[in-house]
């Protein structure tokens, strides 16, 4: 398997875990929050600052405003979010050029649009996502209504971030090679589906039947 796999995900859908288990199954590197650590090591930004800015679009701009890697590079005065996007994008591109890997989030599918990547989107039913997050120790004390609000707000931010920088609708099935609902197949089922898909796409001349 010599392809880079990108994973977009709804908050609480298990996209991180799917990517982690898939990378282990394939024996290739996995990058999610690690991208911020590597970016901090190769830029002037502190990791704590990158975490604060992670997958966030500029908040003071109008909802209709959009940018992209090509447009923001034309300006000498970049917004902080743009600078972070560019630096993380550089890391994503470098890692992808080094060899096969699994990369979660950060518009990796768009950053690597000129490469032969496999782009996955992981979703799940809202109630399952709430339940998945509530059982985590880090969320102890958070009520179900509060968690629902966090999940919806996080997804809203991810959608705005993605659409601001890519001009494409976040979660739109046409953007991805494979969309999987983990409420239907589970985490391991999603991993197996992706692995099967990767194996099938290695076959030449599949179309037409």
Domain CATH for 44 = 3.40.50.300
The domain total for the chain is: 1
125 within a domain of the structure (yes/no): yes
Asked if residue 149 is part of any domain, the answer here is yes
* Listed range (58-72, 127-141, 152-166) with the worst mean pLDDT: 58-72
Question: For tokens 């500029």, what's the residue?
Answer: 58
Residue 208 domain-assigned (yes or no): no
Q: Which has the higher per-residue pLDDT, 61 or 150?
A: 150
Min mean pLDDT across 8-12, 15-19, 26-30, 138-142 is at 138-142
> Is residue 127 one of the residues assigned to a domain?
yes
Residue 50 has pLDDT above 60, yes or no: yes
* Any domain includes 205: no
80 within a domain of the structure (yes/no): yes
pTM for this one? 0.88
Q: Print burial letters for 52-86: b (CB count within 10 Å at least 16), e (below 16).
A: ebbbbbeeeeeeeeebebeebeeeeeeeebbebbb
Number of H-type helices and E-type strands within the chain: 9, 5
Alpha carbon 135 to chain centroid, angstroms: 23
Report the alpha-carbon angle 135-136-142, nearest 5.
75
Tokens of 190: 């999603």
Residue 201: per-residue pLDDT: 84
3-state secondary structure of 39: helix
Considering the domain boundaries, does residue 175 fall inside one? yes
Domain that holds residue 103: 5-200
Query: ∠154-163-146 over CA atoms, to 5°?
Result: 10
Residues 6+ away with beta carbon under 8 Å from 105: 7, 8, 9, 15, 32, 55, 158
């Amino acid at each position: 398997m010599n392809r880079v796999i990108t994973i977009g995900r709804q908050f609480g859908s298990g996209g991180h875990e799917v990517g982690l288990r898939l990378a282990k199954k394939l024996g290739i590197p996995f990058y999610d929050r690690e991208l911020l650590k590597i970016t901090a090591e190769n830029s002037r930004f502190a990791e704590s600052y990158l975490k604060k800015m992670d997958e966030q679009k500029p908040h003071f701009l109008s909802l209709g405003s959009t940018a992209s890697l090509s447009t923001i590079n034309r300006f000498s005065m970049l917004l902080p979010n743009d600078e972070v996007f560019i630096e993380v994008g550089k890391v994503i591109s470098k890692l992808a050029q080094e060899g096969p890997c699994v990369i979660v989030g950060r518009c990796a599918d768009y950053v690597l649009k000129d490469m032969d990547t496999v782009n996955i989107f992981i979703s799940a039913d809202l109630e399952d996502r709430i339940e998945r997050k509530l059982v985590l120790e880090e969320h102890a004390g958070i009520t179900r209504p509060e968690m629902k609000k966090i999940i919806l707000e996080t997804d809203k931010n991810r959608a705005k971030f993605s659409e601001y920088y890519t001009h494409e609708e976040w979660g739109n099935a046409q953007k991805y090679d494979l969309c999987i609902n983990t409420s239907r197949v589970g985490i391991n089922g999603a991993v197996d589906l992706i692995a099967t898909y990767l194996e099938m796409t290695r076959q030449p001349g599949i179309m037409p039947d």
